[in-house]
Structure 1
Amino acid sequence: MATQKLYAGAKLRELRTKNGSTQKDFAAKLGVSLPYLNQMENNNRPVSTTVVLALASEFGMDVTELSSGDSQRLVSDMREILADPLFEGDTLPLADLQLAASNAPGLARAFIKLHQSHRQTHERLAYLDEALGREDARASPSPWEEVRDFFHYCDNYIDAVDRAAEHFARANSDGKTLKATAIAALTAVGIKVSFDDMAALRRYDPNAGILHISSRAPQETQLFQLLFQTAMTRQNSLLEATLDLARFHSGAARDIAKIGLANYFAGAALMPYQTFLTSAQDCRHDLEILAGQFGASIEQVAHRLSTMQRPGSKGIPFFFVRVDQAGTITKRHSATRLQFARFGGACPLWNVHSAFETPGRFLRQLAETPDGVRYISLARDISKPAGRFGAPVRRYAISLGCEVRHAAALVYADGMDTSRSSAFEPIGISCRICERKGCHQRSVPPLERQLVVDPDLRDVLPYQVE
């Protein structure tokens, strides 16, 4: 099998600029000629093995960052934006988008932000129409998307917060449990912890200095909420500094992001990076073993696995997604080349939807996306009862997966024939941008393809895709 060539011009330019080097000095340190460096920086030539080794030895660069997936994310986001009816008739070839993402990533991000601003303005006007009683109004905008994109482009890994949580978890020098350590940390700042029979998972009364935790909640949820409050109080300066760097456009987005960062701290303290990474590798990423070892839920473990992207000590690049029973994505992250639709539901051919039909079981799937990349996907339903009779039960399904080249490191791949092409089911991202012609589950036509409508033929779809 031919080795895939590595083009990383933007990252080479970024590293050279960061080090304040001229092209001539940079080329000398890499052991290549000036014209060769110029060609690599403009993606006219791939990065050679010699250059990769020089980047690691001369600059201490984590060479896995050369193909970190930023380009794929930008291409995916631009393709979905171009599926907006606003750009009808202005379809761009995939090669042009890939060229823009690799050669001019700053311009690509500016294009994405511009479209976001346009759409948010349109939605604000639609919300005003709704307030005035018009029938064609759309829903009001939400700052959730801005926060989601912040974590998305950080690879869902926040180094300063992750390391602070790891340090907190390691501070149990006297042998106390993490729960006892969290309670002691809160007590030290004048917060009393009370476990009460209540419907809410957590309620903090700042005036009385009392943190109420639901005694009905599972033990892992109680601990997570204690760690969340620890982050909000003991790590407030760190969270605020991180938010300052993010430069959110609205106060609401900043508030939501702070909750997200506190949740991140809680998960990272519950499952400290290096200890968790070693355990995951030892048990071949068995979610149930990890949940038992760290006192976490299956969902918490799966989510944590998707954040293991610390430079110099990266885990397997996983994607993680959670959907509700309507198929709407409520959580999503991908450190892989697979990118989820920013709006709407996930591909109906994906096994995450079948998890609702088989409660309590892990479903395995070998899947291939239209770009030819193959994945192994694990899905399971997640139920969240309220702890009392008659209370509504929240039901979700989660999926965790990675590229099939990592299958040997997953216990869930045992017994699956990853060498047989027919074993991989074809899945897509979003019907509007999916290139598959004969998909029997297609909901809308692809915008980048011409349609043929034959009144004398009715197949699975009422049209044919050229």
Structure 2
Amino acid sequence: MAPPKLYVGRKIRELREANNATQSAFAERIGISTSYLNQIENNQRPVSAAVLLALAEKFQIDIAEISKGDGDRLLSALSETLSDPLFESYTPNLQELKLVTQNAPGLARALISCHQAYRRNSEQLASLDDTIGRAAVAEPTPYEEVRDFFHFVDNYIHELDVAAERLSGELGIGEAEAGAALANHLESRHGVRVARAGADEDIIRRFDARSKLLFLNPYSPAATRNFQTAFQIAELEMGEQAAALARKAEFRSTEAFEICKIGLYNYFAGALVLPYQLFLAAAQGLRHDIELLATRFGASLEQVAHRLSTLQRPGLKGVPVFFARIDRAGNITKRHSAAKLQFARFGGACPLWNVHQAFEMPGRFIRQLAETPDGVRYLSIATEVTKKGGGYHAPHRRYAITIGCEISYAKDFVYADALDLTNRAAFEPIGISCRICERTNCPQRAVPPLKRRLSVDHNLRASLPYSMI
């Protein structure tokens, strides 16, 4: 099969403008005609391998970085938006969608935001009963704004990641017990001591700035206490950087701004207890065995799985994986994908996905070979995790977490051992969300796809009470 044509006109144009070069001067430097460069920049012609090599030689760029698609996340979100019946008179093909996301990403995001506002407004109007007459504000919630912020920065924050790795090296984290090193740093640099929270306090962490005491729940797992100590270090040392990053996002509300800062502190904490290059090397050496990585770094399974999804440092990337956390009701409470698989922004996850089975088999790792409607195949691993904070009477929060990768990377995972990766029949068909899945014969379908008409035969009943036409 011929490789896909590469249209990266916007990136080429940005590179030229960053070097303050005219089209003629830039074209001459890489050995092509001005007209060819103009066609490349306007995505009228694909970029050739020879041009990529010339760009790498003349401008010291990373070929893999410039040839990477201009945003699977944005493409997926735009595709889902345009699947709404609101746009039933227009069905763009994949090439049209790619041209928009590559050439006008700002316009694509604006359309997605407008559609989100439309959906919220529609849902509010549909649910109005005794509240008729009240003003309905069709704006994203602060949590949704922050979720999208991390989603579209690839869940990798370079400034924080590098700073956390530098501090981690100074403290010897990854080579020595993290809890003591973090607590000692907190006290020696900031005069803050770690203390045990009272037995009557239902908390995970509480910081008293006046007494300079960080109270931690003594019944929390060590990995949780270490992470919360790292979080406190982030808040004390990275406040200005986090605020600057959050301001750049131009959130609509103060709540979103503050939630984003919390998210950035969490990011720093994760990068501090799981330093990038040390963790990446361990992940590769242990073939992404989550249990061994958790033991190696004194972290939780969830912390390790989440960190694997952030290994997107330019020039030093890990395997592109997807990661999600799901509660027992099927709500996706955390999500990120560096792979082609993108989670639905509305609705629940596919019921055929193995992550749902994790609640039925706690303590086990469930493997699944899966194929999405676009023909891409994946290795998916899921397990149940329980978060405890006390004894018998304390509430236990249960989640299922999942990570996975495209099948071309499966051999880098210990979980692929003994699976027949070459047998296409071994791959189970899954979707992203029923509302946008085009599979016509799925016995687990919850709702019809938005853009398909239905046919109802009163004399025939299969697993679904309708067929799609």
Partners of 1:192 and 1:210 within 8 A in 2: yes
Amino acid at match of 2:21: S
C-alpha distance 320-59 of structure 1, shift in aligned 2 (>3 A): same
Aligned-residue offset at 1:393: 1.1
Q: Does 1:412 align with 2:415?
A: yes
Pair 101,446 (structure 1): closer, same or farther in 2 beyond 3 Å: same
1:168-197 Cα deviation digits (max 9, x unpaired): 101126987432332233223232220234
Q: In the TM superposition, what is the alpha-carbon distance from 1:385 to its structure 2 partner?
A: 1.9
SS in 2 for 1:402: strand
Q: Which whole-Å deviations, capped at 9, do the CAs of 1:211-267 have from their partners, x for residues lacking one?
A: 101110111111000000010012212212222222222110011111111111111
Secondary structure, counterpart of 2:462 in structure 1 = coil
Which moved further from structure 2: 359-368 or 33-42?
33-42
Closer/same/farther in 2, CA of residues 111 and 138 from structure 1, 3 Å limit = closer
Unaligned runs of 5+ in 1: none
| 2:165 paired with 1:163 | no
Per-residue CA deviations over 1:37-84 (Å, capped at 9, x if unaligned) read 223223333222212222322222222223545432222212322344
Q: 1-side partners of 2:382 and 2:42: how far apart? A: 41
**Equivalent pair of 1:450/1:465 in contact (CA under 8 Å):** yes
CA distance in 2, matches of 1:420, 1:20: 52
Pair 1:250–1:416, CA change in 2 (3 A): same
- 2:171 counterpart SS class: coil
- Segment drifting more, 340-349 vs 223-232: 340-349
* Matches for 1:35-114 after TM superposition, within 5 Å: 35-87=35-87, 89-114=89-114
Alignment of 1:355-374 (within 5 A): 355-374=358-377
**Corresponding residue of 1:194:** 195
SS in 2 for 1:313: coil
- Where in structure 2 are the equivalents of 1:343-422 lying within 5 Å? 343-422=346-425
Query: How large is the RMSD of aligned CA atoms in angstroms?
Result: 2.6
Encode CA deviations 1:419-466: one digit per residue, 9 max, x unaligned.
111111111111121111111111111122232222222222222223
CA contact (8 A) 2:120 2:138 kept: no
Q: Give the distance between the partners of 2:193 and 2:415, measured in 1 at CA.
A: 43
Map 1:258-269 onto structure 2 (within 5 A): 258-269=261-272
Matched with 2:8 is 8
- State the distance in 2 between where 1:168 and 1:77 align: 36
Deviates more, 1:116-125 or 1:382-391: 116-125
Letter of the structure 2 residue corresponding to residue 167 of structure 1: R
Q: Percent identity?
A: 54
TM-fit CA distance, 1:359:
0.7
CA distance in 2, matches of 1:20, 1:206: 50
Contact 2:11 2:66 in 1 (8 A): yes
Residues 84, 451 of structure 2: 8 Å contact kept: no
1:228 matched to 2:227: no
Q: Structure 1 residue 117: deviation in Å?
A: 4.2
**Taking structure 1 as reference, are residues 9 and 192 closer, same or farther at Cα in structure 2, changes over 3 Å only?**
same
Q: Please, what TM-score do these two structures have when normalized by structure 1?
A: 0.92
CA distance in 1, matches of 2:69, 2:142: 25
- For structure 2, the residue ranges without an aligned partner over 5 or more in a row are none
CA distance in 1, matches of 2:228, 2:353: 32
Please give the alpha-carbon distance, in whole angstroms, between the structure 1 residues aligned to 2:137 and 2:390.
Answer: 36
Looking at structure 1, the residues matched to 172 and 346 of structure 2 have their Cα atoms a distance apart, in angstroms, of 46
Matched, 1:145 2:144: yes
- Give the letter aligned to residue 442 of structure 2: C
Say how many residue pairs are matched: 465
Q: Give TM-score, length-normalised by structure 2.
A: 0.92
Equivalents in 1 of 2:421, 2:164: separation in Å?
38
Q: In the alignment, which residue of structure 2 is the partner of 1:243?
A: 246
Structure 2 equivalent of residue 210 of structure 1: 213
| Cα 1:208–1:122 shift into 2, 3 Å | farther
Q: Counterparts of 1:356 and 1:152 in 2: how far apart (Å)?
A: 26
Distance in 2 separating the partners of 1:131 and 1:252: 28
Hey, what's the Cα distance between the residues in 2 that align with 1:101 and 1:240? 28
**C-alpha distance in structure 1 between counterparts of 2:75 and 2:137, whole Å:** 27
The offset of 1:269, in angstroms, is: 0.6
1:12-23 correspondence to structure 2 within 5 Å: 12-23=12-23
Aligned to 1:304: 307
Which digits, 9 at most, give the CA deviation of each residue in 1:384-415, with x for residues without a partner? 12221122211110110111111121111111
How far has the Cα of 1:11 moved from its partner?
A: 1.9
Rounded Cα–Cα distance in structure 2 between residues aligned with 1:392 and 1:213: 17
Greater shift after overlay, 349-358 or 437-446?
Answer: 437-446
Alignment partner, residue 444 of structure 1? 447
Q: Is the 8 A contact 1:70 1:153 kept in 2?
A: no
SS in 2 for 1:278: helix
1:268-279 equivalences in 2 (<5 Å): 268-279=271-282
SS in structure 2 of the partner of residue 314 of structure 1: coil
Cα displacement (A) at 1:345: 1.3
Q: Secondary structure at the match of 1:309?
A: coil
Range with greater deviation from structure 2 (385-394 or 40-49): 40-49
CA distance in 2, matches of 1:289, 1:357: 23
Single out whichever of 211-220 and 244-253 deviates more from structure 2. 244-253
Shift of 1:88: 5.0
Amino acid in the other structure paired with 1:179: G
**Greater CA drift, 387-396 or 254-263:** 387-396
Contact 1:123 1:139 in 2 (8 A): no
Structure 1 CA distance, aligned partners of 2:172 and 2:92?
Answer: 59
Would the aligned equivalents of 2:389 and 2:395 in 1 still touch at CA under 8 Å? yes
Residue 25 of structure 2 is matched in structure 1 by 25
- Distance of 2:41 and 2:360 partners within structure 1: 50
Could you tell me which amino acid in structure 2 is paired with residue 251 of structure 1? T
